[in-house]
Chain A
Amino acid sequence: AQSVAQPEDQVNVAEGNPLTVKCTYSVSGNPYLFWYVQYPNRGLQFLLKYITGDNLVKGSYGFEAEFNKSQTSFHLKKPSALVSDSALYFCAVRDDRDDKIIFGKGTRLHILP
């Protein structure tokens, strides 16, 4: 069965510093991996995805994520955090043989001015 874990409930980063939001996954087949962001009182917005190809994926708002097959991880990163990046971030995984997507529990990111 597929699963995804976000080990940190909350991450605090000072503005201008690099940020990392962690995600690990487990699937039977090949993974499709996603990051979504949710701002207060809004639905989820797609940030980036890994399907195949380069392990470093670039997405919206300057975010990127690195697919690491040996560590089964897909951590979200940004070189320099902005206060406006403060939001709830969800990692998600789908097995390539299934339409069902599994979401992590979410990580709340606080960027401190």
Chain B
Amino acid sequence: DVKVTQSSRYLVKRTGEKVFLECVQDMDHENMFWYRQDPGLGLRLIYFSYDVKMKEKGDIPEGYSVSREKKERFSLILESASTNQTSMYLCASTPPTGFLSKTQYFGPGTRLTVL
């Protein structure tokens, strides 16, 4: 079974702090994604990555950056956390484009609270 893990289930940070959210997958997937989930807004894509050192902005990249130094790990960085970044953050991965199923595999989520 594909396993996607996220470093923390719950995280509380203060305004202005630098925050790192880590995601690791064990299926050698090329594609990895970071979403945030907010009530009434569904899932919104922040960033995604097709390969090591490769990243693309999603729908709401402002205030975030990412790092993909190794294939299995995709990090989301909040350079200076703000209260409007309080949310549930979900990481996902998929096999490469040519693979027909294209099912996304999700981690358990990190609930971040910024005070």
Query: Which A residues contact B (CB, under 8 angstroms)?
Result: 6, 9, 32, 34, 36, 41-46, 49, 51, 90, 92, 94, 99-101, 103-106
Interchain CB contact under 8 A, A44 and B106? yes
Given A32, A101, A105, which contacts B41 in the complex, CB threshold below 8 Å?
A105
Query: Which B residues contact A (CB, under 8 angstroms)?
Result: 4, 31, 33, 35, 40-43, 45, 48, 50, 58, 90, 92, 94, 97, 100-109
Residue in chain B with minimal CB distance to A108: B39
Q: What are 13 residue pairs bridging A and B, where the CB atoms are less than 8 Å apart in the complex?
A: A34-B103, A36-B104, A43-B4, A43-B108, A44-B106, A45-B106, A46-B104, A49-B102, A51-B100, A99-B48, A101-B104, A105-B40, A105-B41
Known: A99-B48, A99-B50. A46 touches B42 (CB 8 A): no
Residues in chain A near residue B109, CB distance under 8 A: 41-43
Interchain CB contact under 8 A, B90 and A43? yes
Residues in chain A near residue B40, CB distance under 8 A: 9, 105
Interchain CB contact under 8 A, A44 and B90? yes
Residue in chain B with minimal CB distance to A34: B103
